[in-house]
Homo-oligomer: A and B are copies of this chain.
Amino acid sequence: MSNSTQYFRFPGTFEMHRGGVLEQPVIAYETWGELNSNRDNAILIFTGLSPSAHATSSPEDPSAGWWEEIVGPSRSIDTRKYFVVCVNSLGSCFGSTGPATDNPATGKPYGLQFPVLTLEDIAVAGKGVIDSLGIDSLYAVVGPSMGGMTALAFAAQYPALARSLVLISTATRSLPHAIALRSLQREMIRRDPAWLGGEYGLGPGPIAGMRLARKLGMITYRSGKEWEMRFGRERIPEERPAGDPFAVDFEIEAYLEHHAQKFTGQFDANCYLYLSRASDLFDLAEHGGSIGIALGRIETDRILIIGVRSDSLFNIDQQRELAAGFEAAGKPVSLIELDSIQGHDSFLVDMDRFRPVLSAFFAGDWAALAASRDSLRAS
C-alpha cells in the first residue's frame, strides 16, 4: 500500500452475495483528478485478479501503476478531465479486507473462514466507495479481464448508475476451459504441503504452489505467437547445473521463472484462491434468468467492448457474444477487435493498439472510434 491509498470502511455488516457476512470490511482505493461540481465526471475501474488499486502514478506515489500509460493527465483516461477511482477488490490483499485480513471475531486471519466470494460482492464493495465519495452517477465503469466481469456484475446490480461501460477481454460467464485452468491453479496451491489447509498463518505459505500457479497464469495470459517471436528456441547462456537434467534451459523457461519469482511473496495464496474461484462462479445469466435479459436491463448510454484475437483465456468469441447480446437488447455498443499478439495480457502491454481506442472513447470522439473499429476490423 502506498501513500496514495485511501480506505473506506463499511459502517456495519456487509452481507455476502452467497451467504455469510463481514463486519465492517475495508476497501482500499486510489483516486486521480478532481470530482467536478456536478459530481458526474467519475470513472470507476475494477481490476483483474492480481493488481492493486494503484492504476497509475501520482505525486503521492510516483511509482508506475499497472495501467500507467492509459490513466493520467493527457492520457487515454485523462485525469485532467475525469475523476478516476480504482478499487482493490474485496477479497484481495492490497489493503482491502480478504482472507489474509484478521477476522475480528477471532483476531486471526480469516483464511478459509472467509465467506464465499463473488464478483457481485466486489462490485457492491466498489459501490460503497463511490457512495462514500458522494457520487451517484458515474461517467463510466471500466474493467479488463476479471474486472470486466465485475463491471458487468456492477451494472447488473446498479443498472442506472453508470452512463457508459468499457469491457475489455472479459466475459458474461466463465467457460469450462478457463474454469479448468483456474481450478488447476488452485489445486497446485492447495496441494503444496506448505499451504497447511489454508492455515499457513505468518509462515512463508505455499510458495512452490504459487510459483506453479503463476507460471500457468503467464502461459494462459500471453500467446504462443508472441513467444515464438520473442524466444523461439533460444537457450539461456548460463551453464546448466550438473546432475539436474531438468534445469532451466530454454529462454521461455527462464522467462516464466522470472515472473513466478516476482509474483510469489507479493500475493497472498488464500486471496488468490478466493478471487480465482469468484471468477469461475460468475454467470451474468443469474441476474434475470438469461444473459439476454441481464444485458437488456442495463441502462447505459454507450458500451465499448475491446477483444483481442490472440486471447485464449477470454476468447474473441466471448467478446462477440457480449457485443451481440447488447446489440440484441437494443443497446449502443461498439466492438473493437484487436490483432495484438500478447493474448489476454494485451491490455497491459500493447499500448499502441489500446491507447487510440480508449482515447477516442473517453474523448467522446465517436467518429474516431468508428473509424478505428472499421480499420481494425478490416485489418
- Mask: chain A, 166-179; 1 = CB below 8 Å from B; 0 = not: 00000001111111
Q: Name the residue of chain B whose CB is nearest to the CB of A193.
A: B193
CB-CB < 8 A to A173: which residues of B? 233
Once the chains bind, are A232 and B176 in contact (CB under 8 Å)? Answer: yes
- Each complex incorporates copies of this chain amounting to 2
The answer to whether the Cβ of A135 comes within 8 Å of any Cβ in the partner chain is no
- Indicate the member of A176, A188, A273 with the most B CB atoms within 10 Å: A176
Rounded to whole angstroms, the CA-CA distance of A358 and B243 in the bound complex is: 44
* A176, B233: Cβ atoms closer than 8 Å: yes
Chain A, range 168-196, C-beta contacts under 8 Å to B: 173-181, 183-184, 186-188, 190-193
CB distance from A272 to the nearest CB of B (A): 11
Q: Is A277 an interface residue (CB 8 A)?
A: yes
A215 touches B280 (CB 8 A): no
A110 to chain B, nearest CB (A): 11
Q: Which of B180, B215, B274 contacts A252 (CB 8 A)?
A: B180
- Contacting A184 at CB < 8 Å: which of B177, B180, B216? B216
- Picked from B192, B227, B245, B250, the residue with its CB within 8 Å of the CB of A112 is B245
A212 to chain B: which residues have CB within 8 Å? 184, 187-188, 191, 212
* Contact between A215 and B184, CB atoms less than 8 A apart: yes
Is A319 at the interface (CB under 8 A from chain B)?
no
Residue A368 at the chain B interface, CB threshold 8 Å: no
Per the bound structure, the CA–CA distance linking A363 and B218 in Å amounts to 46
Residue picked from A180, A233, A277, A280, most chain B C-beta under 10 Å:
A180
Q: Which residues of A contact B (CB under 8 A)?
A: 112, 116, 173-181, 183-184, 186-188, 190-193, 208, 212, 215-216, 218-219, 223-224, 227-228, 230-233, 243-246, 249-253, 256, 273-274, 277, 280, 283, 312, 315
Would you list 21 pairs from A and B whose C-beta atoms are within 8 A, ordered by A residue?
A112-B243, A112-B245, A116-B245, A173-B233, A175-B227, A177-B219, A177-B224, A178-B224, A179-B250, A179-B252, A180-B218, A180-B219, A180-B227, A183-B250, A183-B256, A184-B216, A184-B219, A186-B246, A188-B188, A191-B192, A191-B208
